[in-house]
Structure 1
Amino acid sequence: MLGAIFGLLNLALFKDFSGVLEQIPLGPTGDLGYATYQGNQPYPNAVDSRTTVDLGYVTYQGKLDEEYPNTVVYFGIRYAEPPVGYRRFRATVPLDTARVTEQANGEVIDATEPPNFCIQGSLNPLQPGGAGSEDCLHVNIYTPLDAKERGNLPVMVFIHGGAFLFGNPLAWPFEHWIEQSQEVIIVSVYYRLASFGFLAVPEFTNSTYGDFNVGLKDQREALRWVQSNIGKFGGNPNEVTVAGHSAGAISTELHMTVNERGPLFSRAIVQSVVRSPLPTPEQQRPLFEFYAAEAKCSTGSVEQKMDCLRNADISELSVAQEAAFLNFALEYRAFSPIVDGVLITGHPTTKFQGGDFAHVPLLIGTTSNETLAPELFYQTIPRALKGTFPLLTATDIEEFLQQYPLDDFDSSSHQYQVATGESTARCTPQAMGIPSSRYVNETWTYRYNTPIPPNKFDEIPVEHADEIWMMFRGTYNGPNGTFAFDPQTAVERAFASELIAYWLSFVRTSNPNTYKLPKSPVWKTYNEPSPVRMVLMQEPYSTIMSGSYMEKQPALETTRCEFVISKAEVCQN
């Protein structure tokens, strides 16, 4: 388990983030009777109808971007009630629009500045988390300037990654996506992270104490809000693609398999699903007890501990959740989704193999060399497998080793990378793609094969999140909601445009080819008889040529992944 989480750590946490974005406070506070929350400010001079949207219960003033003049961003639109006070650790509460109307008092509300991001965890003891706000359930909405006039534009809802521990949606900007394609709307979701989003103990089956998977429930409430309101921005609620990377990809996979389906989305984009375990509530009990003790809430019953945790200061809870992550005596250290028996009723890989998932067009892939169990930390394949998947027996691990004989690889490091990479990430396109193709012709897979440029903190050529760096203007996540962007060359920007064109073509038509760039090769569908995938690769020197190409998935990889998929239950993924 620890390896999968360490693998999600962007090595840029050690980068110099001086001068990057800091948290921006928003407007006056409001009193809910049990806690205060941060509200948006009235916008006294809203005169440009092109950048305002009337939702029926309140009108928001968006921001016309200076760098991208055909793009409007509406920052910090609430989709749920603030999860503060007695709502801490409880399921998402739908937005009380009457309260929002009353607080607005007839004023247009300013949505031109970014909202508070959710409280951050940390993977680095030298840079502790804790920044952010509990009052963070917002979406940022990116639209073409004339979206309202045209209407019925397809929508992409993006769920950010960050190990379910950290992430500020502003680190994944979409202005340049909208500027490239004026035919889509993009919604970026803020959701509760770390212990605030994924605290679990078996007693939560009685919601008096708390609720399971509240961070995932935040995301689902955002999708419901989109269904009800995106039409006012010019979007089509019947043409919604849910998309995510890393933890966001896990979330997307779970939304496809939860026991609560409905017309919340009609397509899915899944980038680098991390195949980490989804434990049971009982398996999370030691984590809960340790966390409560670290937060000085270890006395009494679970009910008394929860009362204490709800009254604890955010700084105490932040210290407690980071101490839990560093407690190597715990088999399960991650505050992340669990199999709760109600919303999540089984492991997603098993559900996919049985056909029990949303049958929607799917675009899915990973990077060429990603592994989420770093060799520097684990040193051996058995230690990496056991550390990542606690239920594996010695027999299971021996069976894994038989699938990866040293003679099949260039070196022992290459053997380690593939054996751990396939089990933690790289077999997911097969695990999800083949079942998907049995129901939906529009199933597309890729292998991203372009490294971050030299001296960019990557030790392995094409690692986890390298395509995110390319698609989002050279983005790096720092601690506590900070981020920075590397300058990109003209060739890199051209390649990014090629990727974005494929993605948004899929969002518009379920087919990445319909609106691809003319230079880009045709992307063929993936299925069991023909397991072909696009290799997304930058042409090193040209802005007018593509380096991408189609390849057949190697037979040996297919066989190994069949074995990995067969171990889904013991690996709990």
Structure 2
Amino acid sequence: MAKVVGADDNPLRTNQDHTQNSSVPHGLKAVVPHEQDPTSSKPARSRLWPDSPTKMLLSTFLILATSLALNKYSLISAADQASRANVIDLGYAKYLGNRTTTWPNTVSYLGLPYAEPPVGDRRFRAPLPLDTTRLARESHGKVIDARSYPDLCIQGALSRSDHGGAGSEDCLKVNVYTPAGVEANAKLPVLVYIHGGGYVFGNPSNWPFEHWIQQSPNVVIVSVYYRLSGFGFLATPEFSSGQLGDLNAGFLDQVEALRWVQKHISKFGGDPNKVTINGESAGGASIELHLIANAGKEDLFHGAIAQSVYRTPLPTPEQQQPLFDALAEKTGCGTGDLAAKMACLRSASVSALAIAQDNATATLRGYHAFHPVVDKKVLTGFPTRLIQNGVFRRVPLVVGATTNETVAGGSSIAAAAQAFAPSVSDEGVNRLEQAYPSSAFASEDLRQQTVTGDFSLKCARTIMASAWNEARVNTWTYRYNQPDPAGGSTATAHAAENYMMFRGTHPGINGTTTFSTFNPSEIAFSEELIAYWLSFVRTLNPNTHKLDRAPAWPLYSVAKRNRVVLNEAPDGSDVDTISGSHGEIESEEEVQRCSVVAGLVDQMQN
């Protein structure tokens, strides 16, 4: 459970201000009336403790009064305006948010639970809605410290060269970023961000949003933690009944987070009727799944941004049975009927399960990784097929991909396609090879990159945008064309935009990341991207509040197929007035190739 602020915790400190008055007796921290900006040349205001007998009595009284105030949260709120501005009351719990001198326009409420902990018998089951009565009882009406990021969800391994396992099973939390001083029921538009990582790894703290609010303090942003790898996507046909477990638990976590937003975001100043969902890679694929989940009927969001949609196959539970068996065996739970296996798996330690899931997944592709499956309840079919049939939620959409991305390796088109989607037949491979003839490419490497990038990621842009346009729903598409400076390549690879959008983030294994310092050109491009995205969040149009220097972003249509190319300004440009972004037309060649890819939906299963 999150820490409750008490006598040993000064509610006025931020994560960047841990200064403690050395004269304060041990165990009691001074109440600092104003946060000191570490970049300021002005000295911080200090409190000197007197040493005369009379003043010592007064000092003791002040210490006791301070201690009482720190334990009586209504007194803290009445005594200090800064603290009151950073405490949110959800009715069942009060949370203290983090506001720093670096991002003074933003208050971050980190690690708020949105569902019951998925532990014990709840492991491998759909999330239970948050028991607000329990939380109210456990917090005793006190303020809960929400100034630090929570434990991330248990991580899976990227490959045999690293090991997952970092994090906590009790991880169904959200981070909420709000403008400082926002009033409840301010009806600000809301962005809900779902992170990527192949459904196997990912940590929302690697993609922070304080600077988004700092740039545009008129939105509320939520980032979601959801169960990953075997903890979130263990599948066997017998889960279909829901008696011994639930299919797609990790995806259902995301759904429960969206329901929590509907219930509670107004307390943060957000409008539950103006929610846009956004994600990249597996996060982008999650956006696609939310658009087709339950035939798009549940009213949880009103706009969508899908970046680099990861078109991994959605296998059947039967196709995932060997992976289930491998996990059970490697955990020491491979004997007995399913009830016995599940009892064993639920009693296994987190570390044993984490090691077993990493040993069970030979690759992140095909049926060898824990991914969403077609459950015939929430996810009733392959996304491409449902979208082609018009079975999706009709909300405005932004969808795009990077120029050179691919996540499907292989020595040939056949090897890559059948490793990524094991149900692809030899006839299906022939159709791909004919659509991407060697004569059309300068090298076999470029041919391989193009075909694998199209079927694993990029064709979602054409498939989704065409269907949206045919349904007369506004959609905008993009090609991101700026290499990641930390990526070690001149190509614009998968996830390159994350560097610019999230302060130079460069994630590593087990939820770690490093951040880079931007130069002026990178700052300008980052601001341009964020302005487009938040303009869409605010008005469902990326143009309304774009930067003046940024080009107009045309609507996509099957007739014109316009899109924007997102680029940093050329070297030596006046970045305050010149943008490197520009418009282009999607080529007919690209459209035809993606038509072939879409025609393989029953083999690709995506």
Check whether the contact 1:42–1:110 (CA below 8 A) recurs between aligned residues.
no
- Equivalent-residue separation in structure 2 for 1:227 and 1:267 (angstroms): 14
Q: 1:513 to 1:43 in 2, by over 3 A?
A: farther
Residue of structure 2 equivalent to 1:33:
none
- Equivalent-residue separation in structure 1 for 2:131 and 2:421 (angstroms): 42
- Equivalent-residue separation in structure 2 for 1:354 and 1:65 (angstroms): 49
Residue of structure 1 equivalent to 2:218:
183
Question: Mapping of 1:89-108 within 5 angstroms?
Answer: 89-108=124-143
Shift of 1:459: 4.0
CA offset digits 1:452-491 (Å, max 9, x no partner): 12xx334460010000111101111122221111222111
- Equivalent-residue separation in structure 1 for 2:241 and 2:515 (angstroms): 45
Q: Percent identity of the aligned residues?
A: 48
Check whether the contact 1:162–1:247 (CA below 8 A) recurs between aligned residues.
yes
Residue of structure 1 equivalent to 2:438:
406
1:537 equivalenced with 2:567 (yes/no): yes
Question: Mapping of 1:71-82 within 5 angstroms?
Answer: 71-82=106-117
- Equivalent-residue separation in structure 2 for 1:331 and 1:62 (angstroms): 42
1:478 paired residue among 508, 524, 528: 508
Shift of 1:26: 4.7
Q: 1:149 to 1:324 in 2, by over 3 A?
A: closer
Residue of structure 1 equivalent to 2:165:
130
Check whether the contact 1:42–1:109 (CA below 8 A) recurs between aligned residues.
no
Residue of structure 1 equivalent to 2:3:
27
* Matched AA of 2:3: G
1:339 equivalenced with 2:369 (yes/no): no
2:199 paired residue among 136, 160, 164: 164
Check whether the contact 1:71–1:144 (CA below 8 A) recurs between aligned residues.
yes
1:425 paired residue among 454, 457, 471: 457
User: What stretches of structure 1 of length at least 5 have no aligned partner?
Assistant: 1-24, 29-40
- Equivalent-residue separation in structure 2 for 1:460 and 1:291 (angstroms): 39
Q: Helix, strand or coil: the match of 2:183?
A: helix
Q: 1:490 to 1:42 in 2, by over 3 A?
A: farther
Shift of 1:175: 0.4
1:560 equivalenced with 2:593 (yes/no): yes
* Matched AA of 2:371: S
1:276 equivalenced with 2:312 (yes/no): yes
Q: How many residues align?
A: 531
1:393 equivalenced with 2:429 (yes/no): no
1:64 equivalenced with 2:102 (yes/no): no
CA offset digits 1:39-98 (Å, max 9, x no partner): xx9896554221111111111111112201010000111110000111000010000000
- Equivalent-residue separation in structure 2 for 1:530 and 1:191 (angstroms): 39
1:290 equivalenced with 2:326 (yes/no): yes
- Equivalent-residue separation in structure 1 for 2:180 and 2:271 (angstroms): 16
| Bigger CA radius of gyration | 2
CA offset digits 1:118-154 (Å, max 9, x no partner): 1111113232111110101110000101222670000
Q: Helix, strand or coil: the match of 1:565?
A: helix
CA offset digits 1:419-475 (Å, max 9, x no partner): 11111111111111111112344200000001012xx33446001000011110111
- Equivalent-residue separation in structure 1 for 2:498 and 2:117 (angstroms): 30
* Matched AA of 1:556: E
Residue of structure 2 equivalent to 1:31:
none
1:504 paired residue among 525, 534, 544: 534
Q: Helix, strand or coil: the match of 1:364?
A: strand
* Matched AA of 1:530: K
1:249 equivalenced with 2:284 (yes/no): yes
- My pick for the range that moved more, 238-247 or 108-117, is 108-117
Cα root mean square deviation, aligned: 1.7
Check whether the contact 2:184–2:267 (CA below 8 A) recurs between aligned residues.
no
- Equivalent-residue separation in structure 2 for 1:92 and 1:290 (angstroms): 25
Check whether the contact 1:198–1:337 (CA below 8 A) recurs between aligned residues.
yes
Question: Mapping of 1:172-211 within 5 angstroms?
Answer: 172-211=207-246
- Equivalent-residue separation in structure 2 for 1:305 and 1:166 (angstroms): 25
- My pick for the range that moved more, 105-114 or 436-445, is 436-445
Check whether the contact 2:274–2:302 (CA below 8 A) recurs between aligned residues.
yes
CA offset digits 1:185-243 (Å, max 9, x no partner): 00000000110000000010222210000000000000000000000000000000011
Check whether the contact 1:474–1:487 (CA below 8 A) recurs between aligned residues.
yes
* Matched AA of 1:168: N
* Matched AA of 2:431: E
Shift of 1:246: 0.6
Shift of 1:331: 5.5
Check whether the contact 2:3–2:144 (CA below 8 A) recurs between aligned residues.
no
Q: Helix, strand or coil: the match of 1:373?
A: coil
Residue of structure 2 equivalent to 1:300:
336
Normalised by the length of structure 1, the TM-score is: 0.90
Residue of structure 1 equivalent to 2:62:
none
Check whether the contact 1:450–1:462 (CA below 8 A) recurs between aligned residues.
yes
Shift of 1:563: 1.0
- Equivalent-residue separation in structure 2 for 1:498 and 1:342 (angstroms): 40
Check whether the contact 1:52–1:59 (CA below 8 A) recurs between aligned residues.
yes
2:359 paired residue among 323, 326, 338: 323
Question: Mapping of 1:437-476 within 5 angstroms?
Answer: 437-453=469-485, 456-459=486-489, 461-476=491-506
Check whether the contact 2:159–2:363 (CA below 8 A) recurs between aligned residues.
no
- Equivalent-residue separation in structure 2 for 1:424 and 1:460 (angstroms): 21
* Matched AA of 1:389: A
- Equivalent-residue separation in structure 1 for 2:162 and 2:366 (angstroms): 24
1:380 equivalenced with 2:416 (yes/no): no
Shift of 1:540: 2.9
Residue of structure 1 equivalent to 2:187:
152
Check whether the contact 1:361–1:440 (CA below 8 A) recurs between aligned residues.
no
Check whether the contact 1:351–1:357 (CA below 8 A) recurs between aligned residues.
yes
Shift of 1:372: 1.2
Q: Helix, strand or coil: the match of 2:294?
A: coil
Q: 1:109 to 1:331 in 2, by over 3 A?
A: closer
Residue of structure 1 equivalent to 2:467:
435
Shift of 1:321: 0.9
Check whether the contact 1:65–1:73 (CA below 8 A) recurs between aligned residues.
no
* Matched AA of 1:444: W
2:154 paired residue among 119, 129, 148: 119
Q: 1:205 to 1:520 in 2, by over 3 A?
A: same
